Structure 1
Amino acid sequence: MLNVVVVDDEPLARKGMLYRLGDYKTLKVVAECGNGKEALEAIAKHQPELVFLDVEMPGMDGFAVLEQLQNQQLPMPYIIFVTAYDHYALAAFDVNAIDYVLKPVEAGRLKAAIDKALKAFESRDDQKHKSQLAEVVSRLTGDAAETILERLSNEEPVVDSRYPDAISIKDSGEITRVMVIDIDWVDAAGDYMCIHTRDGQTHILRKTMKELELELDPRLFVRVHRSAIVNVNTIVKLQMLPNGEHQLMLSNDQTVKVSRSYKDRVKQVFKGA
C-alpha cells in the first residue's frame, strides 16, 4: 500500500480526487493540502510514496514545491502532476513512474497514471526515479533533462525560475508590486501598458508590449493581438463573430479581440482546437 498526499488549492478538486482515490485499495491518503506550504509539511511528516501535486497554486506552485523538497533534502516521493490547463501537457509522454492528469480528471487517465506509479514502486530505483522526474519537468518547463539531473546532483533547485513572480510598477512616487498570477490581461495604450488584475484594478506600466512579453511566462500568458496579452487561466471561451473575426471571453466577463495573426496561437490553449 502506498501512502498518498493530495495537494490542490481548490477544495472541490481535492474532494473529487479523494473520492476517486477511494476506489484504489492499494492507496492510502494520509493528508490533503490546500497550498504548497501545507504540502511540504505533510510530505516531511508522512513521507508519502506518492503525491498528487497541483501545478497552479497561489504563492507556491507545484514546481516551487519540488524545488523546496530538493532544497530541504526531503525524501522525494513519486509525483503525479495535476493541472486544469492543457498547455502544460506539451506532449504525451511515456514514463514508468510519474505522469500528469488533466482536470477534470478522467477515470481512465487517472488509472493509467496510478498504474505507472505502482509499477515503479515495485522496482524502485533512485537514479531511475530522478531521470523520470527530470524528463517530466523537462517537458513541462522546456529545460533540458540533462540540466535538471545536474541540478539534482548538485543539490540545486530543480526548476530554474526564469520569469519574475511580480512586476514593480512606479506611479506618482510610489512603487506597486503586482503579482503576475493576479494579472488577467494586458492591453497597450500608446507607449504604456494597462495591467488589468483579478481584483478589478488597472495599473499603468511604462514599458513596451514586447518588453513585457519577455517577462511573462509563455506557459501562462498568450499574445492574442499586437496590443493584448491574456492570462490563459482566465480564458473561458473562444468565440467566432459574424464578420469572421474571433474574440476571447474571460472569466471576468471581459472580451478581448483576437487578431488573425495570433489566432492559431490562441487555439493551442484549447484542447482539440
Structure 2
Amino acid sequence: MALRALIVDDEPLARQELQYLLESAGGVDVLATGSNGIEAVELVRIHRPDVLFLDVQMPGLDGFGVLKMLIERKVRLPQVVFATAFDQYAVRAFEVNAVDYLLKPFDRGRVLQTIEKASTRALAAAPHDHPAEPQTESQIESQTEAKLDALLRLVGEAQAPRAPRSKVVVRAQSRLLLVDQREICFASIDDGAISVVTPQIEGQSNCRTLEDLMDQLDPETFWRAHRSYVVNIQHIREVVPWFKSSYQLRMDDPKKTEIPVARTQTKRLRELFNL
C-alpha cells in the first residue's frame, strides 16, 4: 500500500522538487501540498496522512510550532520528515523517535532512504491479526508529548555553538595532508568519491558523504549550494546569472570552476549576498 503523504514548504520550487522525487520513486501518494504552518495543521486534520514532509523554517508558524499545535488540538501525529536547510551540526537533532529529516537541496538517494524508513514504520504500526490491547487516548497523547519534548530538547542542544575542526584530512599524491579548512575553495562528490579543492592542491576526502564532510566544517563559512557541491563562501569570486533565473558560482581556484546553485538554494544565495 502506498504511503499517504503531505508536503508543506513555503518555497514553491522546494515543494515541486520534493513532490517530483516522491512520485517518481513510487510507493508514495502525495495527497496535497501547503505553503505555511497553518495550512499544515489543517491539511493533517483533514487528510490524516501517514507521513508529513514539513519545512522547519517558515514565516509565522514554523515546523515545530505545527507539531505543538497538532498536539494541542489532539490531532493524531503522522510520521514527520523535516525538510531543512539547517547546517549539518543541527540535523542530528531530528533523528529521534519517529522523526526523520531531508537536507535541502534534496538528494534522490536520501529521499529513497526516507521513503523506505517511513514505509517500514507504517507497516509496523498497521493492525495485525492479533492486535495488542489498544492504548487509551491519554496514553497516546502522553507518549506523543514525550517524543516532542525529546525532539525540542535535542534541537536546542544541537544548535548550541560548537567549535569546528580547524583542519581536515585530504589525500593527495599518496600523502595525507592536513588542510586548514579556510583554504578549501569547494568540495564535490562524483560516483561516491569526494574531491576537495584549494588554491594549491586538489585531493580526495576520506569522508563517505558530503554530509560527513560538512560535520567537520564551519557552518558559518561552508554552504551546500548544490546536492553535489559544498562551497566556501569566502572563495566565491563571482555570482553568474544563468538561464531561467538560476545562478552559477565562479570560484577563485586556479581553474575558476563554475558551480551550479540548486533552485532550492536561490533564496539562500540572495540572503548571503543581498541580491
TM-score by length of 2: 0.49
Between structures 1 and 2, the one with greater helix share:
2
